[in-house]
Structure 1
């Protein structure tokens, strides 16, 4: 399961780990981390980026990569949960993030990584038109002039749409490669396969502990999707969600030329992209669910296929992937100091599926704060008083976490996803249901499946991947949630705060920093 962007983007080499002192260590080599690192390096700082996996391995390399100020119904949601002033600040942050990245791509001679397109938010049913009107009103307050239109270029009927011209769709791995190139040209380094375990204050700076060694620095930026340190309790202020994306070759028809987001269910996101040969593909995203609570995720991918084929006819899936996003209860991103970090640790999170604009804006905000600058709109990204809708959201999310924590532990035996006949082949996987010729036992699931069982009092996760049975603790090392098997991605996902682990127990993403116990 490799995203189209990773398949078609440039290869990015790693630097050798160096334990020498730095001005700033950035943790995470996605868009936020790399933008922040480059801005600090331009100011003369010595910067090292430490990445647990590979550059762009998490959200940035698995996004739909739309650089747009029209973001579905996000603006009306911010207005409801945070108010008009916060809405205006958010819009200005996104304007600056969008403009900065487009300028840089041109300056780097990499303008082809951004294709200009009109963006649309559309309704498929008249009952959804009030949501479009609320978004239009919020956009007007934010200073974004949307056009109402009945013409979308889609091959299926819509009830109405909003349009914003001159937005952009990106090849995000190319963007990251350009950022890495500039950082190295300014003396910085990007070290892959280097997981950071902890950051502590030491004297007037920080000490960053990683699998490859310890680095001293004046400051640290956690650009890890959600903070990997629990200071500030961000895990309790965020809702993690996971979405699937497919890239399809269409038979006998051209793909629509815009970028699209639907309102209502099923939620769908569309854009075009090129495959490795330069051929055009239609990229379709959707099936969003709270991480670890998605039911049979394989069915969600199959549903994405069916939806695309029904509307575009003869669509052949060439690739599929998934991404994780985080949303704050007040709907605004956070970018600033991490509480109890002595003013030396910074973080950014809560982009709510729009990380191309928000990720850049967060980098601009953090770098400005670290360098003593001031961006008026950045104040809104450093925390916000909760209005009643946000309070209700937070209470509901906390109740959901508590319910999943309790329900995970009460059963004497836990079960993984239910499997319909033939489901294990729905993603074109290969593999045997036996190990060394032995049939799957009662606690040895079929190929591609996982279950949680009791081993005495300890919940154990048992999964079969590529013919091999893997047994790990089913308890998330972050806050003790019982993990759920994600059959589409063959991972163990935590329904509490979104930590994810491979079938072998290796930590993939989320607030957890440790692997699963054996």
Structure 2
């Protein structure tokens, strides 16, 4: 599963970290947030390096739908429900500045983009009040939105909120340009280097990686979700996966950027390529590890698209992980209160292109001593977090329930060992004594690893779409042979047996 943007991305691989290095600032994470933060710091003459666990842009940045929009589904009305109108205006101002910078950067570096209207539409009549609330919230926040009753599209709808002159692009074009920019400024970029721990020694932060230690005065965690448990951000975020498929469509493709206000979420946009235009359809999200079949969510997108656009042929399929903040606002700032030596950026809730840039501006401004005025909306520690208190209780009650249910599932009635191995593409949890074991067969290879997430002990679930082991507690994900893919976990699953090859 490779996104449309990553399919042809073949930049030169960067070397892994060499131990014993020191930098004033180390950015952990090579997505849009991390790379823009590093660039803004370098432009101010600050010493900075980037450390990426895999390859640049291969996480959420390289798996988005590529929309750069200030109309973000129903985010404005959701924020206004939980906070004041002044907070909502700050959020919109932050995203406006992030959008402005990103569009400027694309023009300056000849990065292709397409201007298009953004539309939040109602699939059913029941969602029309949500549209009205979003229209009211966005207009009060200073956006020139308006209501449209006739969308002239083939899919069912009951009107939409529209905002003109938004944009879309290939996110990896931006990643490649940022990498070239950082190279030109002499900023070291280390790939294939997973950070596994952090401790302080005097004024130095010591990052423990799989290739040795690196020290810094300031560490910036731009890793989707903070990979260190200090600050308890894993309890303030809800990890979610969503799916996307690009289609070759025989007929005309709608020209706007559409997303539904009601569930299941359906997001649409057109994608220009060298030879043709494709239709990109995304959505059908769910909590990480909290579905019986991830493949069923992905298949639902294909079935819906082929029903609405007869003859649509899937050409690329992928998924992405995002984090919903319990207080409705992203967290950008200190990992711990009043301690500016470790900073984080997380909780963009699927709107990471504008939020990533404004988060980078906030982080760089904080380090340099000139944070933007609107950056207060991104506070990591603020009394308004109480606005998300009920959501936090609900979210973490569900986590506790899944933790206990996962372990209680291994009772005396369970077989000590299943007969045979899982069929190709399948995985299951077995009980070997008191030890839950994750067993899967992928590409003819059967692997047995611990079924216990090393983060906080959740029992993993098999992802039949991506052939991965996913934790339903806080969103850590692992390959079939136990390597970390993403999430707060920093260490692989323990081996429990030797792999088996099959003909």
TM category, shorter:
over 0.9
- Structure 1 residue 274, shift from structure 2 partner: 3.4
Residues 218 and 344, structure 1, Cα contact 8 Å, conserved in 2: yes
Residues 334 and 382, structure 1, Cα contact 8 Å, conserved in 2: yes
- Structure 1 residue 216, shift from structure 2 partner: 1.5
Alpha-carbon distance in 2 for matches of 1:10, 1:94: 30
Question: What residue is the counterpart of 1:317 in the other structure?
Answer: 314
- Structure 1 residue 389, shift from structure 2 partner: 6.1
Residues 247 and 281, structure 1, Cα contact 8 Å, conserved in 2: yes
Alpha-carbon distance in 1 for matches of 2:211, 2:245: 35
Residues 414 and 451, structure 1, Cα contact 8 Å, conserved in 2: no
Aligned counterpart for 1:257 among listed residues 236, 241, 255: 255
Aligned counterpart for 1:272 among listed residues 270, 273, 281: 270
Write out per-residue CA displacement over residues 10-54 of structure 1, whole angstroms, 9 at most, x where no aligned residue: 525314534432111110000000000000111112211111011
Residues 298 and 465, structure 2, Cα contact 8 Å, conserved in 1: yes
Question: What residue is the counterpart of 1:369 in the other structure?
Answer: 366
| TM superposition score normalised by structure 1 | 0.92
- Is 1:495 the counterpart of 2:472 in the alignment? yes
Alpha-carbon distance in 2 for matches of 1:230, 1:361: 24
- Is 1:474 the counterpart of 2:471 in the alignment? no
Cα 1:12–1:133 change in 2 (3 A) is farther
Question: What residue is the counterpart of 2:130 in the other structure?
Answer: 131
Question: What residue is the counterpart of 1:435 in the other structure?
Answer: none
- Is 1:300 the counterpart of 2:277 in the alignment? no
Residues 81 and 388, structure 1, Cα contact 8 Å, conserved in 2: no
Question: What residue is the counterpart of 1:107 in the other structure?
Answer: 108
Matched residue pairs, number? 490
Map 1:441-480 → 2, pairs under 5 A: 442=419, 444-480=421-457
Alpha-carbon distance in 1 for matches of 2:437, 2:385: 41
Aligned structure 1 segments of 4 or more residues deviating by more than 4 angstroms:
386-389
Residues 25 and 49, structure 1, Cα contact 8 Å, conserved in 2: yes
Question: What residue is the counterpart of 1:39 in the other structure?
Answer: 40
Question: What residue is the counterpart of 2:117 in the other structure?
Answer: 118
Cα 1:342–1:385 change in 2 (3 A) is closer
Cα 1:139–1:443 change in 2 (3 A) is farther
Question: What residue is the counterpart of 1:432 in the other structure?
Answer: none
Alpha-carbon distance in 1 for matches of 2:307, 2:241: 24
Alpha-carbon distance in 2 for matches of 1:225, 1:394: 19
Residues 9 and 171, structure 1, Cα contact 8 Å, conserved in 2: no
- Root-mean-square deviation over aligned CA pairs: 1.8
Write out per-residue CA displacement over residues 40-91 of structure 1, whole angstroms, 9 at most, x where no aligned residue: 1111122111110111111000011110001110111111122222211110
Cα 1:406–1:99 change in 2 (3 A) is same
What SS is found at the alignment partner of 1:344?
Answer: strand
- Structure 1 residue 118, shift from structure 2 partner: 0.7
What SS is found at the alignment partner of 2:5?
Answer: helix
Alpha-carbon distance in 2 for matches of 1:239, 1:107: 36
Question: What residue is the counterpart of 1:430 in the other structure?
Answer: none
- Structure 1 residue 365, shift from structure 2 partner: 0.4
Aligned counterpart for 2:410 among listed residues 409, 412, 424: 412
Residues 82 and 387, structure 1, Cα contact 8 Å, conserved in 2: no
